[in-house]
């Protein structure tokens, strides 16, 4: 065999090393400890398509009782300009995140085809990454069912490769599943995946940012489930660690969730101070989505303080940013809803109706049932204020159906209050029916907060 410094390891040679290790009945970690080589090096050799140092390969051969000279039929000298697979995967990730989704998918398909020639999919360590990237594409296209399917495949397949543990791909897949289930308002399923992601996260591994995303999304889900104190505890923990968070967007996410919890818990002045402090940070970093959320939250705060002129300015400032938002347009549903509620408080019924109808339209367009229920309920209240109870019933019953389907119990409670108020005056039978439902929801809410 020619003496050269490095070798290209084809998949056939990787199989030779893997089978020899398995015949010796040792793990990659055991072999790494025995040979003083990194486990990642052994993993790459066994996968193949890797440029390896000759001396380290000889160490492996000696440990596995392989005759170096007999491996000559498999070993090829490394090409001078071979495409780096990890570099190609990085380019595909960037295409998916910032560029052309179709181009990213096509490059991914070609890479999969190239590897499938030599490696069965259930043995290819890149299969989980392929599934994850396909999930990312589907999520970008808002094809939620497809995204869930691919992310679930990434989660299952990444568990089959111990060498991927330190990559935190499993935790990332769980985070993606939690994020999508939250988006489609399957909150208990979202919480289950987020908890699993936190559990399997490897602290000293790659993608260290993912733990913050897992915890932020978990806090959001807990708040939606009305488990506000649990959410606040988690956010306060993140707040003390925010200096470790490298992403400006993630840091502002922590602030945003903290603000929303402060508003919900009546800590309005603290919420205003936080929002004002972080608006400049969001502006300087051109984070239009965060600016939008912060302005909207300020509007909520000033509405709570009955400073309606300030509130209107904040909501209008938020909506001016919509054309700059590259994602999260569904957030505008809440802003139009809150602006409509503000108009109602000011007895500006036509403006209220116009804004709330826009909120409902967007809720249906973006298929965000949680925000849609709030918009429908507020529109029903708008018609009650105008003494148009027939129209009010139409929207309130639509809101009730969605709230029941998705177990939005607190929203359902408020809707039932409006319905019982209408039917108390006009239909005793329907009044009793909705009153019974109201009692059932009240009992369920009491259970959720741990009261007897």
The reply to whether 30 and 114 lie within a common domain is no
pLDDT of residue 451: 45
In a domain, 265, yes or no: no
Q: Is 368 helix (H, G, I), strand (E, B) or coil?
A: coil
Residue ranges, the chain, pLDDT below 50: 1-4, 77-78, 117, 451-452
In a domain, 52, yes or no: yes
Nearest alpha-carbon partner for 86 in 122, 47, 117: 47
The reply to whether 19 and 135 lie within a common domain is no
CATH number for position 27: 1.10.260.40
Q: What is the pLDDT of residues 111-140, one digit of tens each?
A: 887 776 455 556 788 889 999 999 999 998
pLDDT of residue 82: 57
In a domain, 182, yes or no: yes
pLDDT of residue 3: 38
Boundary-marking domain end, from 50, 82, 114? 82
CATH number for position 385: 1.25.40.10
pLDDT of residue 83: 63
In a domain, 371, yes or no: yes
Boundary-marking domain end, from 225, 242, 266? 225
* Residues linked to residue 76 through DSSP beta bridges, in sequence order: 8
In a domain, 186, yes or no: yes
- Side-chain-side CA neighbours of 363 within 13 Å: the count stands at 26
Rounded CA separation 344/419 (Å): 18
In a domain, 274, yes or no: no
Q: What is the pLDDT of residues 336-348, one digit of tens each?
A: 999 999 999 999 9
pLDDT of residue 161: 86
Rounded CA separation 155/131 (Å): 9
The reply to whether 26 and 101 lie within a common domain is no
pTM of the model: 0.71
The reply to whether 87 and 56 lie within a common domain is no
DSSP string, 95-129: HHHHS-HHHHHHHHHHHHHHHHTTS-TTT-TTHHH
For residue 441, CA distances in Å to 9, 188, 395, 437 come to 64, 18, 20, 6
The reply to whether 93 and 214 lie within a common domain is yes
The reply to whether 100 and 75 lie within a common domain is no
The reply to whether 221 and 343 lie within a common domain is no
The reply to whether 358 and 334 lie within a common domain is yes
Per the CB < 8 A criterion, the answer to whether 50 and 96 are in contact is: no
In a domain, 446, yes or no: yes
In a domain, 114, yes or no: yes
The reply to whether 337 and 439 lie within a common domain is yes
The reply to whether 358 and 441 lie within a common domain is yes
The reply to whether 30 and 151 lie within a common domain is no
Q: How far is CA 70 from the centre of its chain?
A: 50
Boundary-marking domain end, from 27, 55, 82? 82
**Cβ neighbours, 10 Å, residue 327:** 10
Domain limits at 192?
A: 83-225
Q: What is the pLDDT of residues 70-82, one digit of tens each?
A: 766 655 544 555 5
Per the structure, the count of domains in the chain is 3
pLDDT of residue 450: 57
The reply to whether 216 and 88 lie within a common domain is yes
């Amino acid at each position: 065999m020619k003496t050269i410094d490095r070798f290209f390891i084809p998949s056939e040679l990787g199989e030779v090393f893997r089978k020899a290790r398995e015949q010796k009945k040792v793990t990659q970690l055991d072999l790494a400890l025995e040979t003083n080589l990194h486990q990642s090096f052994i993993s790459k050799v066994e996968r193949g398509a890797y440029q390896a140092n000759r001396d380290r390969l000889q160490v492996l051969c000696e440990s596995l009782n392989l005759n170096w000279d007999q491996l000559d039929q498999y070993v090829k000298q490394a090409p001078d300009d071979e495409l780096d697979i990890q570099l190609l995967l990085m380019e595909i990730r960037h295409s998916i995140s910032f560029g052309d989704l179709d181009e990213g998918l096509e490059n991914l398909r070609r890479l999969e085809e190239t590897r499938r020639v030599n490696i069965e999919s259930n043995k290819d360590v890149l299969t989980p990454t392929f599934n994850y990237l396909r999930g990312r594409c589907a999520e970008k296209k808002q094809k939620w069912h497809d995204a869930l399917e691919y992310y679930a495949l990434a989660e299952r397949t990444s568990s089959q490769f111990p060498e991927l543990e330190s990559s935190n791909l499993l935790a990332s897949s769980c985070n993606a599943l939690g994020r999508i289930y939250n988006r489609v308002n399957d909150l208990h399923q979202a919480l289950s995946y987020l908890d699993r992601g936190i559990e399997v996260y490897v602290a000293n591994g790659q993608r260290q940012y993912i733990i913050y995303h897992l915890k932020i999304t978990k806090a959001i889900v807990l708040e939606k489930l009305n488990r506000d104190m649990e959410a606040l505890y988690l956010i306060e923990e993140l707040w003390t660690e925010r200096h470790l968070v490298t992403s400006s967007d993630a840091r502002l996410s922590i602030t945003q969730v903290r603000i929303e919890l402060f508003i919900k818990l009546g800590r309005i002045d603290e919420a205003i101070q936080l929002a004002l402090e972080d608006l400049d940070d969001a502006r300087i970093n051109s984070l239009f989505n965060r600016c939008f959320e912060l302005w909207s939250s300020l509007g909520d705060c000033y509405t709570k303080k009955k400073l309606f002129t300030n509130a209107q300015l904040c909501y209008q400032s938020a909506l001016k940013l919509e054309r700059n938002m590259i994602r999260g347009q569904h957030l505008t549903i809440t802003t139009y809803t809150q602006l409509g509620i503000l108009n109602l408080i000011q007895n500006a019924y036509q403006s209220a109706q116009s804004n709330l109808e826009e909120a409902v339209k967007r809720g249906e367009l973006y298929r965000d049932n949680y925000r849609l229920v709030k918009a429908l309920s507020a529109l029903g209240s708008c018609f009650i204020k105008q003494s148009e109870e027939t129209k009010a019933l139409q929207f309130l019953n639509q809101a009730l159906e969605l709230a029941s389907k998705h177990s939005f119990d607190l929203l359902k409670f408020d809707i039932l209050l409006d319905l019982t108020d209408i039917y108390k005056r006009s239909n005793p039978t329907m009044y009793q029916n909705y009153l019974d439902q109201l009692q059932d929801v009240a009992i369920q809410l009491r259970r959720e907060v741990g009261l007897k």
